[in-house]
Structure 1
Amino acid sequence: MPYPEQRGNKWRVRWNTGKKHPETGRWLYDSQGGFDSREAAIAYGLDRESDIRNQRYTSRRDGAIPMSEYCRTWQQTLDVGHLRRRNIESFIRLYIEPHWGEMAVADIRPSAYRAWELWLKDQPNIGDRYRNEILLVFSMMMDDAVDDGLRQASPVPKRKRRGKYVKKKKERKRNLRMEDVHQLACNALQFWGFAGYVFQFMIPFTGMRPAELYALRREYCHPAWPAADPLDDPDEEDREERHADDLERYGPSLMPAVRVQWQHQRDSGELKLFPPKYGSRRTLVLPRFLTELLEILLASHEGQYVFPSINGGLLANANFAYHYWRPIADGRGASEEFERVRLGQKQLVDSRRPLPEIPAVASWKGKRQYLLRHGHKEWLDEDGHSRIAVETRMGHEVAGVEGLYANVTPAMEKRIAEALQRRWLEFVRTLPEGWEPPSSPSPLPLDLGEWMKLQVKAARASSD
């Protein structure tokens, strides 16, 4: 039974919350004042006791926890990957805690949330996708606050489709043409060297993600893999059984392939190896021309990683999208002499790494490198390969019964490798007579012009 008390010309009501103080063992009470009559106060208290009996009640004492404290507690409950954790911590540090930190968890109202949502929308430095991620994290926090008994309901409205349908904006893509892929490779040869030439074929012909390529070590790459597989991934529980199957299925004399086992990512500023996105460890069979290029590349250096950077270091340490991909896709002017002052004297000097003019690849100017991976799936779909083989190669899981029953067979993989090789041969047949590669800033480990003549010869022989 609630306890009404008169305070001046108003009434206050107290009720038992059903909880005891953890130290004294005494019952804890909540109260509410400002009622005009004793009956109104008692009615309010009876409603609260009903909420307590039906487990709908949120104590004002519990909901008084400030958001700044709840932010710190909530982050400790996250069980996500390091990149997702870093993003969530960034959202909280930059946008959630500065705005809501001093407010009690229970005091956040839907109207205040809507005002904050509009404020985020007005910020010129926050895009739609980034804003939606911030709001998603805040919504998760409020849902958990309800589960923790700090609120009765979330202030974030449940999204319902109402009104006119607005189609989401979709990035415009063009068909991946073999001519463009080869021009990108030639640009990479001029800008980076032979490693760049081979690198530019890897994404469109294997579908690997950039971070997976940065972390590709020679023991996971043809011709060393699978014999050289170090089995160094403790999270892969069946690695011994998987390796035994790989030895029977892959290899230079069977099906040349690379193993996607790791990717390079940063954790607290330190570059580390992590499993690939979504744990998508997989094996990728290679077309014959690419196996030859990889063999030549690996024989040309002794580094641990297949693709060294321009200065021979880790490719993951470079800002690849800006310092490598943009000049390769967008082109750049020839290196020019520049003036500097040294020891008080003006000097006209050449660049330490002089390069000729690199032409832009028109259909890739301003485009993301990641679209080359999209293009790989486009090619596989064009050639009519099994859906399970395509999605597995892309590192995706097929949901439902189809994914449960399906399996990628050696025959499926062989057809993929042969189709990719045919695509390459069909292209090299179109090269002009006497094609010569562009210059490279470093010595090539082979006569690329002569190697291409052999590819053209093989292409013409296959068409006869």
Structure 2
Amino acid sequence: MPYIERRGHSIRVKWWAGEYLPNGSKKYESASGPQPGVRFTDEDEAYDFGLDREYDVRNGVHVRRRDGNTQMKVYIWDWYADQELRFSSMRRYKSMLTARIEPYWGDHAVGAITAFEYQAWSRHLNSLVADELMSASYARDLKKLFTTIMSDAVEPYRLRKFSPVVVKARRGKYVKQTKPKKRPLEMETLYQLACNAYEVWGYTGWVYIWHCAFTGCRPGENWGLQRQFASPTWPASDPDAERRAESLERYCGKKPMHAIRVQYQHQVVEGKQELTGPKYDSHRTLVVPDFLHEMHAALLASHDYPWAFPSMLGRSLLSTKFELDYWYPIRDGADARTTHRGHPVRPAIPKVPEMAGKRIYALRHGHKEWLDEDGHCEIAVESRMGHEVAGVKGLYGNLTPAMELRMAGSLQRRWERFWRPRGGLWQPAFPTPLPVDHPGGVNEQLTRRPRRTHR
């Protein structure tokens, strides 16, 4: 039971903290008020406060005062060190903690943060978004990260009893959230992007655009695609003997199918370029349509680099400023280029209005739209996209060879429906060298790049 101590005009209550000292005696905690800066007014109030603390001890929800007084600048880095996530996620968390959360919350005690203080911080972030000093997505990610940190402070770390992040019930008139407008990915738009990519990047660029749209791979997966995992060589070139045997039986058996293996993505890990597993460990095999397989075969014949899609200088795309030197000219167009002696290097490139302001990731979104439009089942579509289907459907679902064959067939028909009625469309010669092999070409493209008006 708690007991009361009087010291002059102050009242203090002491209670057992549920622990023992090294000598075997009970360890007590005490308080002179219900919260910092507020003192007990009478003994009954102090006694009830002590009873509540002992109730928490008996029910396993007691927070030791020294734990609750832990400063946020200590706790957030202890929390960070305890996480086991992919390097890219850890890097992003570290950036947000360093840039925004520690400067604002660092001197606060974990157990002293109130819901009002959190709401004030949330409004502060919203004002930065309104003033266009912060993106809405970044503010949303900051709030999610802080919510996670505070939830973990409750359980499992037990540094406070409740999270200060309170989700308010919706009140008042319903306001529908606005979403960015989307346009279906049309083959005409894709063709213009591919033509532009050829002028920027040679035959590699031409194939890269079609590959992005007809496989739905993530950018890092495209950058990490090695020639041994491209359709002209795989699965016979797979270094894993067990996977090679299974894949040869599945894709080179009664109904042969051309396929690529998504085995890696290329990322910078602790300052070094590394081949890591794809996002969410979504290793998978993608059957590709016949026309894309033919492009891959021509592409691999045009160079001897280990990457399926080398840069203009024959290196990995991770070592480039991809958006600035590749995607922006492809999407937004560019002026004609000549050498300092007036020799033409590259003709003028038209802009693609339908892709204005969009990331190349939009081609992956378009791929899923195509699969949904063609009526493929959810298991087949999500497996191809590298996603997991939740629940019983995902547990019992299975991607079969027949599903893969149907997807490849529908993608091939989409290509033919565009290409055949438009006989005579320009396409590059097969094969063609990289821009690095054009005398004086790539250096002029990189050193005489015009200034972009926007990003």
* 1:353 CA drift (Å): 8.5
Pick from 254, 258, 261: which aligns with 1:259?
Answer: 261
User: In the alignment, does 2:130 pair up with 1:139?
Assistant: no
Q: 2:140 & 2:22 partners in 1: Cα distance?
A: 40
Q: Percent identity?
A: 45
Alignment of 1:295-334 (within 5 A): 295-334=297-336
Q: 2:398 aligns with which of 397, 407, 410?
A: 407
Shift of 1:402: 2.5
> Aligned in 2, Cα 1:289/1:298: closer, same or farther, shift over 3 Å?
same
Stretch of structure 1 that moved more, 22-31 or 274-283:
22-31
Alignment of 1:323-402 (within 5 A): 323-335=325-337, 349=340, 354-402=345-393
Q: Which position in structure 1 is the counterpart of 2:3?
A: 3
- For 1:152, the equivalent position in structure 2 comes to 161
CA contact (8 A) 1:251 1:257 kept: no
1:54-453 matched pairs, under 5 angstroms: 54-123=59-128, 124-147=132-155, 148-231=157-240, 240=242, 242-251=243-252, 254-335=256-337, 349=340, 354-431=345-422, 433=424, 435=426, 437=428, 442=435
User: One-letter code of the match for 1:172?
Assistant: K
Shift in Å, 1:22 = 5.6
In structure 2, the CA distance between the partners of 1:360 and 1:104, relative to structure 1 (3 Å rule), is same
Alignment CA distance shift 1:405-1:83 (3 Å): same
- 1:441–1:315 distance in 2 versus 1, CA, 3 Å: closer
- Preserved contact between residue 302 and residue 433 of structure 2 (Cα < 8 Å): no
| Deviation by residue 1:50-71 (Cα, 9 ceiling, x = unmatched) | 3322333322222111111111
TM superposition shift of 1:211: 0.9
Rounded to whole Å, the distance in 2 between the matches of 1:367 and 1:390 is 23
Shift of 1:32: 1.7
1:256 deviates by 1.1
Seen in structure 2, the aligned counterparts of structure 1 residues 106 and 21 have a Cα distance that, compared at 3 Å, is farther
TM-score (norm 1): 0.85
Aligned-pair distance for 1:410?
A: 2.1
**Does 1:45 pair with 2:50?**
yes
List per-residue Cα deviations over 1:440-464 (Å, max 9, x = no partner): 984999xxxxxxxxxxxxxxxxxxx
Residue in 2 aligned with 1:459? none
Name structure 1 gaps, 5 residues minimum: 232-238, 338-348, 446-464
Kindly report which structure 2 residues correspond to 1:15-26, keeping only aligned pairs within 5 A, or say none. Answer: 15-21=15-21
Give the Cα–Cα distance (whole angstroms) in 2 for the partners of residues 217 and 25 of structure 1: 66
**Pairwise CA distance, 1:191:** 0.9
Between 405-414 and 159-168, the greater mean CA deviation after superposition: 159-168
**TM-score, length-normalised on structure 2?**
0.86
Picking from 8, 26, 35, the partner of 2:40 is 35
CA 1:25–1:223 in 2, change beyond 3 Å: closer, same or farther?
A: farther
Quickly say closer, same or farther: Cα 1:352–1:272, change in 2 above 3 A.
farther
User: Is the 1:190–1:441 contact (alpha carbons within 8 Å) kept by the matching residues of 2?
Assistant: no
Superimposed CA distance per residue, residues 141-165 of structure 1 (whole angstroms, 9 cap, x where no aligned partner): 2122222232121111134333333
Distance 1:207 1:369 in 2: 11
CA contact (8 A) 1:2 1:45 kept: yes
1:35 alignment partner, SS class: coil
Following superposition, the deviation at residue 262 of structure 1 comes to: 0.7
Is this contact kept in 1: 2:313–2:436, CA < 8 A? no
Deviation at 1:11, TM superposition (A): 2.2
1:203-262 deviations in Å (ceiling 9; x for gaps): 11111111111110011112110010012xxxxxxx82x432211122498211111111
Partners of 1:243 and 1:266 in 2: CA distance: 28
SS at 2:421 equivalent = coil
- Structure 2 alignment gaps of length 5 or more: 34-38, 439-455
1:433 Cα deviation from its structure 2 partner: 4.0
Kept in 2: contact 1:142–1:156 (CA 8 A): yes
Conserved? CA contact 2:199–2:349, under 8 Å: yes
Change (3 A) 1:161 1:257: same
Q: Indicate how the Cα distance of structure 1 residues 273 and 166 shifts in structure 2: closer, same or farther if over 3 A, else same.
A: farther
Measured in 2, the distance between the counterparts of 1:435 and 1:9 equals 93
Kindly indicate whether the alpha-carbon contact (under 8 Å) linking 1:193 and 1:444 is maintained by their aligned counterparts in 2: no
Q: Deviations over 1:255-283 (max 9, x none)?
A: 11111111112222222111111111111
Q: What is the CA–CA distance in structure 1 between the aligned matches of 2:342 and 2:398, rounded to whole Å?
A: 54
Q: Distance in 2 between matches of 1:335 and 1:406?
A: 53
User: Which sits farther off after the overlay, 393-402 or 183-192?
Assistant: 393-402
Closer, same or farther in 2 for the Cα pair 1:14/1:255, shift >3 Å? same
Deviation at 1:26, TM superposition (A): 5.9
Matched residue SS, 1:103? coil
Alignment check: 8 A CA contact 2:216 2:368 kept: yes
In the superposition, relative to structure 1, how do residues 103 and 384 fare at CA in structure 2: closer, same or farther (>3 Å)?
Answer: closer
Aligned-residue RMSD, C-alpha? 2.6
Report the CA distance between 1:328 and its aligned residue: 0.5
Q: How many residues align?
A: 426
